[in-house]
Structure 1
Amino acid sequence: MTTTTWEDLVTSALLGTDRRTPAADVLAPGEDAPVALLDAAALHTVRRRAGLVPAPAAPLPEPAPHDDRPPLPEAARRRLGRLLADRSGAASGGRRGTAPDLTELLPQWLAAANGHGYRAPASVLPALLDAARARTDLRPAALAFAGPRGLWLARFNPDWKFALRGASCRTALPSPDDEEAVRRLWEEGLFAERVALLGAVRSHDPGAALALLASTWSTERAEDRLMFLDSLRDGLSDVDEPFLEQALADRSRNVRSTAAELLSALPHSALAGRMAERASTCVGLDRTGGNAVIVVEAPHECDAGMQRDGVLPNPPTGRGQRSWWLGQLVESAPLTVWSSRLGGRTPEEILALPVADDWQGELHAAWCRAAVRQRDAAWARVLLGPPATPPATGPGTSSLAERSQLLSILPGGERAAWVAGFIAAHGLSEAFQLLGVCAVPWAEPLGRAVIDALDIARDAGSYPWSFSGVMGLAERCLDPEEADRLEVLTAVPDEPEGASPGAGGYWSEAFQRLVATLRLRAAMRAELSP
């Protein structure tokens, strides 16, 4: 038996036998030191393995829960494997080639599979969770597709712990009528299970869901209270008002702000009434000059009552205090108050009125936020104005972000027609954000407007890279039925005088990739059909 330990051998190996000679019980006289070291390591290894005492077997994990959704068709299963295995990306130098980007089609495939109600094959669950871990935009759809087995599997890998707090994964929920099972899962379940349970109970009995939430509200973490409160947006109604009023006194500022925002979206809530009263004292009509003019007197202070109702006292950098307070009051007041306050006028007539002392931008921006919060399509239409109107002179806002939010309130067909008109009048350079809120697949007027604009840009001889974002959206959002009609654009065009060198070839590649992607989407849709 040698007295040299395993750690001694490792140290000699790391430092080298020239710097750390093995001990005498390892190295015999005249023996080569490296050989002796390896012999001693082999001996230690055999001794350690032979002396290992078998440990009791660990208990087996509980079986994976049953998922009764129908299985994927075989062709769709193979397609999913290819989508999850793809690691393609845009090539350097601005050229992406003609092959479709499979990673960009995975979200659409997941949405379609969930729409059909398929369950994920067990063999793809690890790759599916890895993909969701790498891309947060995939998580809701990926976790819904993974279902209860995906949640079960995520418990065994710390890299997938995000799934245990995801609110969109499907779990086997008890019946909302089974009060004991509901209470047990609410008190003992994972966060994802509790959010899903709250939604299920809420769809069955909103009052019971609020009682369930109130039973543990004071013991929840601030971030969990915020997420529970945010889940009330779906199906928000006057039944929620008492609970939200209590949340205005929460110890978390974010919870208080969210509660105030939700209450202001209820036009008959007490908070909406208080905000209407405050806003009405700040905005009025002046008829003394012959023509009616909107006059604004911004608040001079942000008192405790305003702060309790969600008004933040400290403005961001670059904003004045009084304009900051005014904007919050107006956006939280019901839009219905302004017709009676401003002489019975319609939204069109109100927005046409001049506003004194350069308050128009602040006032109209607040009305835009109010229209989005209250989902008021009538006000949204007026604030957007006709699509051909230059953005800087529109009735509401020139901000593309705010226009996108206003568009999201309108019905899908009207939204697509408005954006198509905007592209026809102003081109694609400012349309990217607007396109992102349009329903997929794009309606024919919108798809035709995008393709026509891209064709005009190609004929102008510019490179397609300036339109890569729009082209990427077109690959994901155009109706796949358009593929055959676009085939003519895949040919290399004659380059006009003054065109960028080689631009025609690049455009040909871009349109070939577009057509190939549309055909691939059509194939995916057919493979998922029952």
Structure 2
Amino acid sequence: MNTTPASAGAPVGGSWEELVTMALLGTERRPPPAWAAGREAPVALLDAAAVETLRRRAGVRAARAAARPEPAAPDPRPGLPPAAARRLTTLLADRPGTGGGGRRGTAPDLMELLPQWLALANARGFAPPPESLPALLDAARGRTDLRPAALAFAGPRALWLARLNPDWRFALRSLPGGGTALPGPEDPGRAQQLWQEGLFAERVALLTSIRAQDPGAARELLATTWATERAEDRLMFLDSLRSGLCAADEPFLERALADRSRNVRATAAELLSALPGSALAARMAARAGSCVAVDRTRGTPSIVVEAPHECDASMERDGVVPKAPAGRGERSWWLGQLVEAAPLGTWSRRLGGRTPEEIVALPVSDDWQSELHAAWCRAAVRQRDPGWSRALLGAPSAPEAGGPGAVSLAERSKLLATLGSAERAEWVAGFIATHGLSEAFQLLGVCAVPWAGPLGRAVVDALNIARDAGSYPWSFSGVMGLAERCLDPAEAGRLEGLTAVADEPENAAPGAGGYWAEAFQRLVTTLRLRAAMTSELDGAQPR
């Protein structure tokens, strides 16, 4: 009896795409190549497809016979509940672009829900079904934004597969130490050896890992080789000190101000200016304070500005870049850098004990207001000062929807990020209620998910108003997509009434009513799907 499988002669290197093309065109128009000689073409094609399917499910590239690899490390986490496992398979089966373009219809975008599903599964401590790992790694390979959550969920088996399949080597690069355990501060001997002998990526991962556990130990490790490192490496290592930055880092950073690399000096100065009690912050406060004062000779007090006339060597050492960008005046360029680096507490003492709101409300003479307030915006973001952020943002209902320093939506977004999530959502809801959605997309991106009730209602109300006004519907597709991912699923019932096709005003875009109905139906369907995802994961939630 012949026990040789029918697929024994199938091509080792045949790709799935080639086999699909062959099947779609037919074996008469695209006959199998020489490996199918002696067999009926349709049978040979099916045999090859079976072999390729098995390879894809195994997640390992075919190769010559060799010693069997060591088993993957065990994953102690509990497996997914059956319904959640089926949901994961459905989410991973979806691919971008399968809708064929044009109107999206009412079907949810499953790939856009995968990041949220992964976050929920990781929060609950589940492990993936082994058979889902190849598709999960393929999804993470194509989308870098998925990688942290996907690899955390995939666990040790993903690293085992990544060592066997070059397509997934990104998983080894994405994890500290390439997936191997890094020595910590409690093992200085191993840490020092890896620091002295490891590859650059391993050294960065080691420094980052130790910094998270013991900031002082990481700083001391960096100091042992600082003088012999390349400039680009010094810059990368110095950037790792942002995590856990504290007053104990000041002596090391002060020495870095004399570094021979301008970029290293600038980064050291930026880090020191984020420490309000540092000597550099005091020097910057003195320089900036000498440039800004209150003029009390008029009926209404105002701020007067005398920008620096030169950038001396001491200013350069403290991180001031002397050469202004094209189209920018030198004096305003120097002033902006000084004010940005000065502790914000300087200004209340310098300007008569006024609060940030009172300072921002003062008129500024000689057209220096935009430059001064923009520098205060950057300082508030760098120093994470919510009081100054509130003053610079102003009331969301104010004309132009921002405080005098918020010169762009990007700056408003950064200022909002310094506030608590509830306050942030309340401000953006007020912005939308006054100014609509056309300018709000970037601001919505900094709000916590799921959106708080007032923010969610403000977004839905604004969309409904846009529909009733006959607005061009496709211009709101970005906000609608964001709402699908960020609205609280509990809002689904309240949105049912918006899924009907509304009467179109005379000036409405042709077909707008049908588009809006589809968009709201998709929104409701997606919210219910998100609620189902959570329910499935909570069906057997581990401790």
Q: Normalising by the residue count of structure 1, what TM-score does the alignment of the two structures yield?
A: 0.83
Compare 241-250 and 318-327 and name the one that shifted more: 241-250
Structure-1 separation of matches of 2:388 and 2:449: 25
Secondary structure (helix, strand or coil) at the match of 1:356 reads coil
Aligned to 1:279: 288
Question: Quick check: 1:230–1:258 contact (8 Å CA) kept in 2?
Answer: yes
State the Cα distance separating 1:201 from its structure 2 match.
Answer: 3.0
Percent identity between the two aligned chains: 75
State the Cα distance separating 1:103 from its structure 2 match.
Answer: 1.5
Structure-2 separation of matches of 1:527 and 1:451: 27
State the Cα distance separating 1:421 from its structure 2 match.
Answer: 0.5
Question: Quick check: 1:76–1:524 contact (8 Å CA) kept in 2?
Answer: yes
Larger radius of gyration: 1
Question: Quick check: 1:147–1:170 contact (8 Å CA) kept in 2?
Answer: no
Aligned to 1:528: 537
1:114 to 102, 106, 122: 122
Structure-1 separation of matches of 2:197 and 2:311: 42
Aligned to 1:35: none
Question: Quick check: 1:72–1:118 contact (8 Å CA) kept in 2?
Answer: yes
1:266 to 275, 294, 309: 275
- Inter-CA distance 499–340: structure 2 relative to 1 (3 Å threshold): same
Q: Is 1:378 the counterpart of 2:387 in the alignment? A: yes
Structure-2 separation of matches of 1:220 and 1:79: 49
How many residue pairs match? The answer is: 479
Question: Quick check: 1:176–1:200 contact (8 Å CA) kept in 2?
Answer: no
Compare 161-170 and 376-385 and name the one that shifted more: 161-170
Aligned to 2:407: 398
Question: Quick check: 2:79–2:129 contact (8 Å CA) kept in 1?
Answer: yes
State the Cα distance separating 1:123 from its structure 2 match.
Answer: 3.4
Alignment of structure 1 residues 464-479 onto 2, 5 Å: 464-479=473-488
State the Cα distance separating 1:171 from its structure 2 match.
Answer: 5.2
Q: What's the CA shift string for 1:364-401, capped at 9, x where partnerless?
A: 00000000000000000110101100127733223111
Compare 187-196 and 298-307 and name the one that shifted more: 187-196
Question: Quick check: 2:304–2:365 contact (8 Å CA) kept in 1?
Answer: yes
Q: Is 1:212 the counterpart of 2:221 in the alignment? A: yes
1:241 to 244, 247, 250: 250
Q: Is 1:326 the counterpart of 2:335 in the alignment? A: yes
Structure-1 separation of matches of 2:331 and 2:130: 58
Structure-2 separation of matches of 1:334 and 1:82: 52
Alignment of structure 1 residues 351-390 onto 2, 5 Å: 351-390=360-399
Secondary structure (helix, strand or coil) at the match of 1:357 reads coil
2:134 to 108, 126, 135: 126
- Inter-CA distance 73–188: structure 2 relative to 1 (3 Å threshold): farther
State the Cα distance separating 1:186 from its structure 2 match.
Answer: 4.2
Alignment of structure 1 residues 437-476 onto 2, 5 Å: 437-476=446-485
State the Cα distance separating 1:505 from its structure 2 match.
Answer: 0.7
Question: Quick check: 2:307–2:331 contact (8 Å CA) kept in 1?
Answer: yes
Alignment of structure 1 residues 166-205 onto 2, 5 Å: 166=174, 172-174=181-183, 176-187=185-196, 194-205=203-214
Question: Quick check: 2:307–2:334 contact (8 Å CA) kept in 1?
Answer: yes
Secondary structure (helix, strand or coil) at the match of 2:510 reads coil
Q: What's the CA shift string for 1:335-357, capped at 9, x where partnerless?
A: 00011111111111111111111
Question: Quick check: 1:98–1:513 contact (8 Å CA) kept in 2?
Answer: yes
> Runs of 5+ in structure 2 lacking a partner?
1-33, 35-63
Aligned to 2:354: 345
Structure-2 separation of matches of 1:195 and 1:71: 33
Alignment of structure 1 residues 287-298 onto 2, 5 Å: 287-298=296-307
Q: Is 1:100 the counterpart of 2:108 in the alignment? A: yes
Structure-2 separation of matches of 1:366 and 1:308: 20
Structure-2 separation of matches of 1:267 and 1:167: 34
Alignment of structure 1 residues 290-309 onto 2, 5 Å: 290-309=299-318
State the Cα distance separating 1:519 from its structure 2 match.
Answer: 1.1
Question: Quick check: 2:401–2:435 contact (8 Å CA) kept in 1?
Answer: no
State the Cα distance separating 1:67 from its structure 2 match.
Answer: 3.8
Structure-2 separation of matches of 1:135 and 1:483: 29
Alignment of structure 1 residues 51-66 onto 2, 5 Å: 63-66=71-74
Structure-1 separation of matches of 2:475 and 2:165: 42
State the Cα distance separating 1:157 from its structure 2 match.
Answer: 4.1
Q: Normalising by the residue count of structure 2, what TM-score does the alignment of the two structures yield?
A: 0.81
Question: Quick check: 1:76–1:527 contact (8 Å CA) kept in 2?
Answer: yes
Question: Quick check: 1:371–1:406 contact (8 Å CA) kept in 2?
Answer: yes
- Inter-CA distance 275–215: structure 2 relative to 1 (3 Å threshold): same
- Inter-CA distance 314–448: structure 2 relative to 1 (3 Å threshold): same
- Inter-CA distance 195–141: structure 2 relative to 1 (3 Å threshold): farther
Question: Quick check: 2:396–2:402 contact (8 Å CA) kept in 1?
Answer: no
- Inter-CA distance 428–180: structure 2 relative to 1 (3 Å threshold): same
- Inter-CA distance 456–392: structure 2 relative to 1 (3 Å threshold): closer
Compare 405-414 and 267-276 and name the one that shifted more: 267-276
Secondary structure (helix, strand or coil) at the match of 1:132 reads helix
Q: Is 1:503 the counterpart of 2:512 in the alignment? A: yes
State the Cα distance separating 1:445 from its structure 2 match.
Answer: 0.1
Structure-2 separation of matches of 1:518 and 1:190: 46
- Inter-CA distance 293–167: structure 2 relative to 1 (3 Å threshold): farther
State the Cα distance separating 1:460 from its structure 2 match.
Answer: 1.2
Question: Quick check: 1:133–1:162 contact (8 Å CA) kept in 2?
Answer: yes
Question: Quick check: 1:171–1:193 contact (8 Å CA) kept in 2?
Answer: no
State the Cα distance separating 1:360 from its structure 2 match.
Answer: 0.2
